C-alpha cells in the first residue's frame, strides 16, 4: 500500500514542487530598468516608521512607462494624498490565491486604466508623475506586492508604524526574480515630435525614447532612406538604461521628396522592434 502511495506522488509531482496542469506563474519588472532601487521594503524611516514596498526608477524621470507585472484585473486607479495616482492590480496565482501589486506616484493626467479592466503582463498601466502631480516627490515608482487579496479597504500606505506589517507583503525584488518571466517582449520605440508625412528641412532633429519591459535595450539604430531599399545609418546608441535619446542630423544631401526614417531597437535576448516613419523633405 505504501509503495502505491509513493508511486501516486511521483505521478502527480514534478521537480520544484509544481503540479502537472498548474502553469508556472511568471512576473516582469514594472519599469524599463530593475537596478535603481533607492528605498527597500521594510527599511526604517525617520519617526519610527517602516517603508512598505520599494521606491525605484528615479533616474528615468517623469512620464517613464510603468508595466503590469502579470496578467490581472485593475482593482483601483485613483489619486491618493501624497501618492499621486495609485494603481492596484489583483493577480490570481497558480495555486488559486490572489495577490495585489501596487504602483504609486503615477501621473494622474495620464491615467490609462480603470477599475475592472483586464491587463496583460508587460502592458503599460501608467506613467511616472512629476513632483507637481505625484504627491510632491521626485519622479519615481512606489511598488509593492501584497500577499492579501483586494477587499476594497485602503491598506496600501507607503510607510507604517508597525514593523510586523511588512510581513504581509512580499519583498518585490526577491519575489519577481524568483518568478521572472522569459523575456519575449520586443522593445517599444517612441519617435517624438515627428508625425507621418511631416515636412522637414535640412536639419532633422527629434527626441526618441526606447524602452523594454524585459532585459533592457541593447542597441538602437536610426537610419534614413529615400526609397526604403538603401538605408544609411545616422545614429546608434547602446541604450542599456532605456533613457531618452536625442537625434540631430544634417540631411541636405538627401533629395527633395520622400524620406523614410527607421528606428530599430534590439534587447539583450534578441527581441527587436522596427518603426518606420514617412517624411517629406522640402
Show me where the domains of the chain are located.
13-178, 188-281
Domains 13-178 and 188-281 agree in fold = no
Separation in Å, CA 129 to CA 6, 103, 108, 139, 187: 55, 11, 7, 6, 22
What's the pLDDT tens digit per position in 130-153?
999 888 889 999 999 999 999 998
pTM score, whole prediction:
0.65
Mark out the alpha helices in the chain (DSSP H runs): 2-12, 172-178
Q: What pLDDT is recorded for position 242?
A: 53
pLDDT for 74: 97
CA angle 193, 196, 198 (to 5 degrees): 70
pLDDT at res. 179:
84
Q: Which of 5-14, 20-29, 266-275 has the lowest mean pLDDT?
A: 5-14
For every residue of 19-60, DSSP letters joined together read BTTPPPP-B--SSS-SS-EEE-TT-EETTTEEE-SEEE-TTT
User: What is the β-pairing status of strands 198-200 and 272-281?
Assistant: parallel
CATH number of this structure's domain 188-281: 2.60.40.2550
Whether the per-residue pLDDT at 13 is higher than 60: the answer is no
Average pLDDT across the chain, whole number? 84
Residue 16: pLDDT above 60?
Answer: no
Phi-psi region of 156 (alpha: psi -120 to 50; beta: other; left: phi over 0): alpha
Q: Are 215 and 269 in contact (CB under 8 A)?
A: yes
Contact in structure between 70 and 157 (CB atoms under 8 Å): no
- Topology at the third CATH level for domain 13-178: Glucose Permease (Domain IIA) (2.70.70)
Of residues 156 and 9, the one with the higher pLDDT is 156
- If you ran DSSP here, which 8-state letter would residue 19 be given? B
User: Does the pLDDT of residue 81 top 90, yes or no?
Assistant: no
Question: Pairing mode, if any, of strands 257-267 and 217-225?
Answer: antiparallel
Contact 70, 129 (CB under 8 A): no
Amino acid at each position: 500500500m505504501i509503495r502505491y502511495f509513493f508511486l501516486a506522488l511521483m505521478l502527480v509531482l514534478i521537480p520544484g514542487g509544481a503540479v502537472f496542469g498548474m502553469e508556472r506563474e511568471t512576473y516582469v519588472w514594472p519599469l524599463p530598468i530593475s537596478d535603481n532601487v533607492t528605498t527597500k521594503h521594510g527599511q526604517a524611516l525617520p519617526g519610527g516608521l517602516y517603508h512598505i514596498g520599494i521606491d525605484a526608477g528615479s533616474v528615468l524621470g517623469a512620464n517613464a512607462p510603468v508595466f503590469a507585472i502579470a496578467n490581472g484585473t485593475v482593482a483601483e486607479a485613483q489619486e491618493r494624498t501624497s501618492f499621486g495616482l495609485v494603481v492596484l492590480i489583483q493577480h490570481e496565482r497558480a495555486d488559486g490565491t490572489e495577490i495585489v501589486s501596487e504602483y504609486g506616484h503615477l501621473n494622474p493626467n495620464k491615467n490609462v486604466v480603470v477599475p475592472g479592466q483586464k491587463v496583460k503582463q508587460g502592458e503599460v498601466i501608467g506613467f511616472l508623475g512629476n513632483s507637481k502631480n505625484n504627491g510632491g516627490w521626485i519622479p519615481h515608482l512606489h511598488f509593492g506586492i501584497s500577499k492579501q487579496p483586494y477587499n476594497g479597504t485602503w491598506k496600501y500606505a507607503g510607510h507604517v508604524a508597525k514593523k510586523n506589517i511588512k510581513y504581509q507583503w512580499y519583498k518585490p525584488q526577491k519575489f519577481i526574480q524568483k518568478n521572472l518571466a522569459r523575456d519575449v517582449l520586443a522593445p517599444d520605440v517612441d519617435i517624438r515630435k515627428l508625425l507621418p508625412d511631416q515636412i522637414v528641412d535640412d536639419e532633422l532633429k527629434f527626441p526618441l525614447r526606447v524602452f523594454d519591459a524585459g532585459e533592457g535595450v541593447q542597441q538602437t539604430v536610426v537610419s534614413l532612406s529615400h526609397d526604403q531599399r538603401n538605408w544609411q545609418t545616422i545614429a546608434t546608441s547602446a541604450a542599456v538604461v532605456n533613457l531618452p535619446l536625442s537625434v540631430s542630423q544634417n540631411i541636405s544631401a538627401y533629395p527633395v521628396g520622400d524620406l523614410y526614417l527607421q528606428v530599430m531597437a534590439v534587447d539583450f535576448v534578441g527581441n527587436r522592434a522596427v518603426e518606420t516613419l514617412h517624411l517629406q523633405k522640402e
